[in-house]
Structure 1
Amino acid sequence: MSFGLYITHPQVQIDPQVPVPQWGLSAMGRSKAELAAQSPWAKRLGRIVSSDETKAIETADILAAASGIPVEVAEHMHENDRSATGFLPPLAFEEAADWFFAHPTESYQGWERAVDAQSRIVASVFKVLADHDAALPIAFVGHGGVGTLLKCHLLGRSISRTEDQPGGGGNLFCFSLADHGVSCDWTPIEHWKGV
């Protein structure tokens, strides 16, 4: 049976001196991705499409090695644009993220608005799916914020952080390639058993 996945990159090496899109995976994040790559579902993937941010590409490369397929990089799959504030320490970031989801039509101190980030990620994913062979399992590898916005859209729900992934990254949700219905909620990538 075919399936679609949205996968968030796992833990990253945080460096306030490096632009966030260039952060790579931490040792823990890499280990988590390598465990997921050993799963039967990873070997079944027929296509992997990644954001162009370093941490997503590194995750996609690890998963792609399991099935021997190349990674495609898609435009406009990047995380919500937060460059206006630059790096925020964890507590300040969580407060900002709460505000971002609670006020989707407004900008948090110059951030991309949630409604705009949602339109962008939905358009990017559906552009890929438009000519995708639905018999091939596909994974989109990206970021938690826009992944949550995509999930809200697929569920037909308003933008809300209640749909956000738990625990810092390295999760997935599964959806049907036939009707795009979400068939499993956020699950750690190394624990998902597949369909």
Structure 2
Amino acid sequence: MPIAYYITHPQVRIDADVPVPEWGLSDVGRARAVAMLDQPWVGSIGRIVSSAERKAIETAEILAERLHLAVELRERMHENDRSATGFLPPPEFEAVADRFFARPHESIRGWERAIDAQSRIVGEVEAVHAASEADIAFVGHGGVGTLLLLHLSGQGISRKADQPAGGGNYFAWDIGSRRLIHGWLPIDWPAARSL
């Protein structure tokens, strides 16, 4: 049975004057995405599906160039909608994110509800599964990636399964059984241990 990988974009160039969906990869993020190409699991990927946010597209394009594949964009794979607040300084962002996961049926400060973001990302992944016989790389974001991982592992929404800080992680599942193979690992493992 084919395997699916959910890959989160690595570190980004933060700019409070640029809308978050338009942020690109930082030099460190780009280097980590390139280091991902040396991982043994990458060679089996036969399809790449990405969020349409710039940081995800840049990550997917690095993978696609190596594998000589096209990148399929899916608008609804975007990160949880936080446009109501825009950029938040890191401590404030973390506090709001804690509430987002802790109260999934509520809109926290105008953000998309966690339960809705989960339903959206699960629906996008299921739509892609239905038309694929190859290993798939989904390239996206940590918040909705965590919500997907929780769904696949049968857990309720919480932040306990959140990806490690900084992004640039992945998890894998068996497409046929929808069973998680492993949780979050750095995309550039074991090189990430030296960062």
With the shorter chain as reference, the TM-score category is over 0.9
- 1:33-58 Cα offsets, whole Å, 9 max, x none, are 00001223222210000000000000
For 2:193, the equivalent position in structure 1 comes to none
- For the 8 Å contact 1:176–1:183, the answer to whether it is kept is yes
Residue 188, structure 1, aligned to residue 186, structure 2: yes
CA distance in 1, matches of 2:38, 2:64: 11
CA distance in 2, matches of 1:142, 1:120: 13
TM-score normalised according to structure 2 size: 0.95
- Corresponding letter in the other structure for 1:161: R
CA distance in 2, matches of 1:74, 1:109: 26
Residue 162, structure 1, aligned to residue 150, structure 2: no
CA distance in 2, matches of 1:85, 1:67: 38
- Corresponding letter in the other structure for 1:42: V
Aligned pairs, number: 190
Residue 47, structure 1, aligned to residue 8, structure 2: no
Give the CA RMSD over aligned residues: 1.1
- For the 8 Å contact 1:47–1:69, the answer to whether it is kept is yes
Q: How much identity, in percent, do the aligned residues show? A: 58
- Corresponding letter in the other structure for 1:3: I
For 1:123, the equivalent position in structure 2 comes to 123
CA distance in 1, matches of 2:83, 2:158: 22
- 1:92-136 Cα offsets, whole Å, 9 max, x none, are 000010000000000111000000000100001100111111xx1
For 1:19, the equivalent position in structure 2 comes to 19
Residue 95, structure 1, aligned to residue 95, structure 2: yes
- Provide structure 2 residue ranges, at least 5 long, that are not aligned to the other structure: 191-195
- Provide structure 1 residue ranges, at least 5 long, that are not aligned to the other structure: none
- Corresponding letter in the other structure for 1:130: A
Residue 66, structure 1, aligned to residue 70, structure 2: no
Structure with the bigger percentage of strand: 2
CA distance in 2, matches of 1:54, 1:24: 6
Deviation at residue 143 of structure 1 after TM alignment: 0.2
